[in-house]
Amino acid sequence: MIRINNNDFNILELNKSATETVVMIHGIFTNLSVFYFSVAHELAKKYHVVLYDLKGHGLSETACSGYDLQSASKDLLGILYELHIRKAHLTGYSYGGLIALYMAVYYPETVDKLIIIETPNLNDGQSRPLLEGYNKLFLDRYLAGLSVSTHMIPSQRKIDKIHRQVQYLFEHTTLKEDLRRDLDLFDKIAENNPVTNETLLLYATQTECANAAAFLHQHIKKSSLYYGKGDHSIPVQNPEWLVDKIIKFL
């Protein structure tokens, strides 16, 4: 655990002796394990890999506020500072990709190459159920879909735990308002194409974020876009494809 901005963060480092660092940022309502068992250790054969749980996720501490992209980026800057990393490749999955993009726009001096996996545009309508707050039925449907796509059936204790965690974040923190505050990130990216990093866009063949993929490809000059077999759970379904693409890109 490392204390950053008055919050405890669960951080894991792999292959600390490597010269280049890859930071991996998970999505909302998941945790660093989405990368741990597959992608991270393959990348760690060559790179220093930093995994961390976002605020209020995994084993990191939950705070009442600070779930917007600016706060999340400041948390990440604090982690980089604490670990003495001046510049890193950022890999962001889903919402984590928005944090990576935000870092590239506002703190470009800290970002080397960008890898964006299945990242949505919060403002394109697809993410509306997420922005409307805790919805038991929606979450049950989401978890049921996740079980089908990952072939895993969570126990009732696990399902209850996820419900409690999501409900708490929506009803007792500023998460909902914070998510709404960041709807304009893609507009900012379109305004004057501020992301100049070499960027790898990795999306699933059954993605629900195809518009976001095309948008980012259009507005990030040095970007390449690939589609791999799977859906939004592609880090679990098809990690070999992700590893192959990322290693070739880096």
Partner 1 sequence: MDTVILNKRRQSEIVFKQLSKFVGDIIGDDVIEQIGISQESIFTKNLEMDSIEIVAFAEKVKQKYGREIDFISWISGMEFQKLYNLSIGQVVDYIVNSNDSN
Judge whether 97 and 118 are in contact, CB under 8 Å.
yes
Q: Which of 161, 172, 180, 229 binds partner 1 (CB under 8 A)?
A: 161
- 120 near partner 1 (CB under 8 A): no
Beta bridge partners of 200: 115, 224
- 151 near partner 1 (CB under 8 A): yes
d(CA 14, CA 88): 14
Choose the binding region for partner 1 from 78-86, 100-108, 151-159, 166-174 (rule: CB under 8 A).
Answer: 151-159
Number of residues counted as binding partner 1 (CB under 8 A): 23
Which tokens sit at 1?
């655990």
Which tokens sit at 232?
């939004």
Q: What's the burial of 83, exposed, middle or buried (CB within 10 Å: 0-12/13-18/19+)? A: middle
- 12 near partner 1 (CB under 8 A): yes
Q: Output 97 or 235, the one with its CB closest to partner 1.
A: 235
Q: Output 123 or 150, the one with its CB closest to partner 1.
A: 150
- 236 near partner 1 (CB under 8 A): yes
Which tokens sit at 236?
């679990």
> What sign results for the dihedral spanned by CA atoms 211, 184, 188, 32?
negative
* Distant-in-sequence, close-in-space partners of 113: CB < 8 Å, separation ≥ 6: 89, 90, 197, 198, 199, 200, 249, 250
- 62 near partner 1 (CB under 8 A): no
Residues 17-56 touching partner 1, rule: CB under 8 A, are 31-34, 36-38, 41-42, 53
- 150 near partner 1 (CB under 8 A): yes
Under the rule (CB under 8 A), what is the footprint of partner 1? 10, 12, 31-34, 36-38, 41-42, 53, 58-59, 150-152, 154-155, 157-158, 161, 236
